[in-house]
Structure 1
């Protein structure tokens, strides 16, 4: 048994230092806070992703990306938020959903509790982008105004949008199609069943300022109901996952990691 006097006093964090909060002791957290006050919080949901992808896609992606960021830049990686706002996916079994109010309160409380033990900046890595962006924007505002935490909302699609636009193959990537399938092929190929992937085209036309594409002409807020989704897709995905590749996924992941590292490094240098 050792006492506190044997603990390291070196505040220089190295890539070998622990960063996964769930695997650390409170003393290791205390040591880590000598060299970082930034927390990466993967936020997703558990919902249907077609015939070819697992229910946990929206958590697997941000957690794995957060891990790569924490390996390179000074930040701690929190356990992920597994349940989010997914009422539009309840037309298929396996989907869980929370009300907007419950979700916002839960994420806010998680971050506020981290603030009490020394975290000053939180980056919400949103793997369920588009669908729960509005809720997380409210969370960021409350964390900043009510809890004094420098909070940021980072939807993955925004982080890799420029690269995705350049290298995409399919015309539409809305849900469980080219982007998400490619990222999963890069990060967790053992969980992807490409032999079950099917192309599902969205309606030929959408209303002005809206589009069934993650990089589309989405200029106004709108949402789909479970009934809408049930009419749109027999499989659960919208778009063409058959064109997905691990190479595309690697480029998207690299772009997201690079952008997040720039933010974390700037926060820690501030």
Structure 2
């Protein structure tokens, strides 16, 4: 048995002997999965990676798990109408993420939680990765879209009618976690179309009951600013409540996996 201390819990900051020691306490890995894409005039392009990485850091402070470096590039073709957005194909994204998690299983990881900060848009890809990890690598894998684990609190704290992209929820979370990166003086409300098709909705908590997507052309026509919804009603207090909800729920799963 190694006498090396487990380390910080952040894989990128640890030595391999520290990882080896940590594996005596946990076999669970959190993988923050995001994208680098436009988030309006008021927020940085890294929002979708900043959020799950920071939430993952809070989880490992309370529960026994390791935190992988975030995946910065995702499936974001609908945001390429603004400069700075990167996107990869569905196939590339799935293969890359599968290989990351599969390699972790080689050194002892048994449980993987994919903390998805680019929720809704790349949910389908992550569901496939989870299925492959379970069937091909015998890894207990889970897709954790952030919007799902803070949904109940989001319904309680919201004051805007629509929060679809870079609006009330994401802006509030960033105000709580990285206020220095948010420019509220540049935030503006952008209303989506008055009506959406049946079973679809321009809202993160809406009735999105069938799969659908937007193209870059669609987004360009919908929003000159880049966001859809009202970020001006965002507050750090709302963001802290959303973050706490997500962290608490994720900890429940992590703790159960440890038993």
Per the normalisation by structure 1, the TM-score is: 0.95
Say if 2:106 is the partner of 1:116.
yes
Q: Return the alpha-carbon distance in structure 2 between the equivalents of residues 236 and 250 of structure 1.
A: 24
Aligned to 1:55: 45
Q: Return the alpha-carbon distance in structure 2 between the equivalents of residues 163 and 169 of structure 1.
A: 12
Q: Return the alpha-carbon distance in structure 1 between the equivalents of residues 159 and 3 of structure 2.
A: 51
Does the Cα contact within 8 Å between 2:160 and 2:168 map onto a contact in 1?
yes
Aligned residues: 259
5 Å matches for 1:91-130?
A: 91-130=81-120
Say if 2:3 is the partner of 1:8.
yes
Say if 2:68 is the partner of 1:73.
no
Say if 2:74 is the partner of 1:84.
yes
Say if 2:29 is the partner of 1:34.
no
Cα distance 1:50–1:9, how it changes in 2: closer, same or farther (>3 A)? closer
Per the normalisation by structure 2, the TM-score is: 0.99
Aligned to 2:174: 184
Aligned to 2:205: 215
Does the Cα contact within 8 Å between 2:4 and 2:18 map onto a contact in 1?
no
5 Å matches for 1:131-170?
A: 131-170=121-160
Unmatched 5+ stretches in structure 2? none
Q: Return the alpha-carbon distance in structure 1 between the equivalents of residues 163 and 105 of structure 2.
A: 37
1:40 is displaced (CA, Å) by: 0.3
Which 4+ stretches in 1 moved above 3 angstroms?
Answer: none
1:29 is displaced (CA, Å) by: 0.2
1:167 is displaced (CA, Å) by: 1.2
1:9 is displaced (CA, Å) by: 7.7
Cα distance 1:9–1:63, how it changes in 2: closer, same or farther (>3 A)? closer
Unmatched 5+ stretches in structure 1? none
How far does the alpha carbon of each residue in 1:201-260 deviate from its partner, in whole angstroms, 9 at most, with x for none?
000000000000000011100000000000000000000000000000000000000000
Q: Return the alpha-carbon distance in structure 1 between the equivalents of residues 25 and 240 of structure 2.
A: 30
